Structure 1
């Protein structure tokens, strides 16, 4: 086989993650035609088809799955080698690469990063907002040092520590049927709210996935009258009377300046956390250790 091409290898992993040439092209800032050409050239050199193409997107073949895993292994080893070398340095400088869900970025993470940047001004910060699945994929591919995501995913390949408690709340306008009850801010059961129309958000996001799983177990279907793409939009639509909404604790600050009422769900499954994930047995640079220590101290302070 000819020399390993890291650029094309990254594109293979991007396609495996996104399942779409258009999405991968946008994320990697490259023309879709350039991706297609690179993948076609690679398949020609290897003598193997790596992707099945269809109108719905692209999926890895068996050969593609093997090649993608080999690419991940190479990138992990390179990242670990570079990290291992930084241990010989004084601990100053370096970089911190974080893939984070929108929930973490709308919660305590910005304040923690500000404190970290003040204490470590020579460390370059690379913060990427991603949905949880993409964040964990980027972590596995050694594109980032840590991922901060909701806890309802498979973490068997990672080491995790708690970052922030992020319980699920129900919100509604004061004149909604639930308004009086929610205004008391006392825990309310999912069964009491599941039959109301809901303003949905992020159809494939962690919160949407969590709520639909809970509804399925209860033998119900969430009646989503309208769907939006952001939590600020959800708040505005609930204000306008399109239904109740669900927010995690990290987004409750969006209710400031509104007259919306809210209360936490009482079920154990709604008492969620955001987790910091990192690869198992991976070497950690001093810059990453410092962030993990700060995040852990910050979390412990909230438990007192």
Structure 2
């Protein structure tokens, strides 16, 4: 029986995620030919085809899907074993692997991490910024200990706790047609802003999904003039007059130095939370336990 190769297993999962040998090789810092050779050798040893190859990339076959899930199970078990071993130590050294969204990093998380690092100087911090979907995938595959993400995802497989309340706000130039109805201390209805051109943000991101679902429920389309990939870019485009935009509370600091106006959306669905998530029934190191406890102790509900 061929011994389990964790390096090749990680490559299989990376290929499944990227759908591209070239992108997988780039992220691993190895040659594309080396990735192809590892996959081909593995397929030969197993006697099955793991990927369908085409000019558009690679995709897991039925056998490949089964093998990838097995890889995730084994890699999770390895990660869990490492966590158990870490707890045998003094708890003064270790690592905290945190996957989080940009919204989390623009909220209270940086100050919390600074407080944590000051009290636990022997703990190595590995902070990975990514979309919520990818953060939960990293958690599921054992590449992260904790994820801090928005609340509109499937958390069936995870234990969750509130981390920070995060409301959705509308942002507009001061000369916009909505200007007389937008001010920070007064809610505004989502239906009242839907008829105006909008600067979209990060397709399939948590805020994009939230707004799209709300627009669908209101039976009104989102009229996007353009789409950007970051909140600073959204602020600049709104400032330039391309339309209104939407930000979470954790990103409102980006309005500093601008003359943009803003108001919170009135609907209950706009009252969101960032959550601390971890895999259920997973052994936690002392470093991770301490961080999760700190998150809970410092959470202050605002809604």
CA contact (8 A) 1:239 1:260 kept: yes
CA contact (8 A) 1:17 1:137 kept: no
Tell me whether 1:15 sits opposite 2:18 in the alignment.
Answer: no
Displaced runs of 4 or more, over 6 A: none
What is the match of residue 72 of structure 1?
Answer: 72
What is the match of residue 243 of structure 1?
Answer: 243
* Equivalent-residue separation in structure 2 for 1:113 and 1:227 (angstroms): 32
What is the match of residue 85 of structure 2?
Answer: 85
* Equivalent-residue separation in structure 1 for 2:59 and 2:199 (angstroms): 32
Q: Deviations over 1:73-99 (max 9, x none)?
A: 111111111211222221110000011
* Equivalent-residue separation in structure 2 for 1:26 and 1:103 (angstroms): 27
* Equivalent-residue separation in structure 2 for 1:86 and 1:284 (angstroms): 9
Task: Give TM-score scaled by structure 1 length.
Answer: 0.95
Tell me whether 1:150 sits opposite 2:157 in the alignment.
Answer: no
What is the match of residue 97 of structure 2?
Answer: 97
* Equivalent-residue separation in structure 1 for 2:41 and 2:282 (angstroms): 33
CA contact (8 A) 1:80 1:283 kept: yes
User: 1:1-80 alignment to 2 at 5 Å?
Assistant: 1-80=1-80
Secondary structure class of the residue paired with 1:180: helix
What is the match of residue 207 of structure 1?
Answer: 207
* Equivalent-residue separation in structure 2 for 1:250 and 1:20 (angstroms): 34
What is the match of residue 224 of structure 1?
Answer: 224
Q: Out of 152-161 and 30-39, give the one that drifted further.
A: 30-39
Secondary structure class of the residue paired with 2:149: strand
What is the match of residue 165 of structure 1?
Answer: 165
Secondary structure class of the residue paired with 1:204: coil
Distance 1:85 1:252, change over 3 A: same
* Equivalent-residue separation in structure 2 for 1:264 and 1:184 (angstroms): 7
What is the match of residue 259 of structure 1?
Answer: 259
The two structures, once aligned, show a CA RMSD in angstroms of: 1.5
Distance apart, 1:303 and its partner CA: 4.6
* Equivalent-residue separation in structure 2 for 1:81 and 1:25 (angstroms): 28
Distance apart, 1:55 and its partner CA: 4.0
CA contact (8 A) 2:101 2:148 kept: yes
Distance 1:150 1:23, change over 3 A: farther
CA contact (8 A) 2:195 2:223 kept: yes
Distance 1:21 1:134, change over 3 A: farther
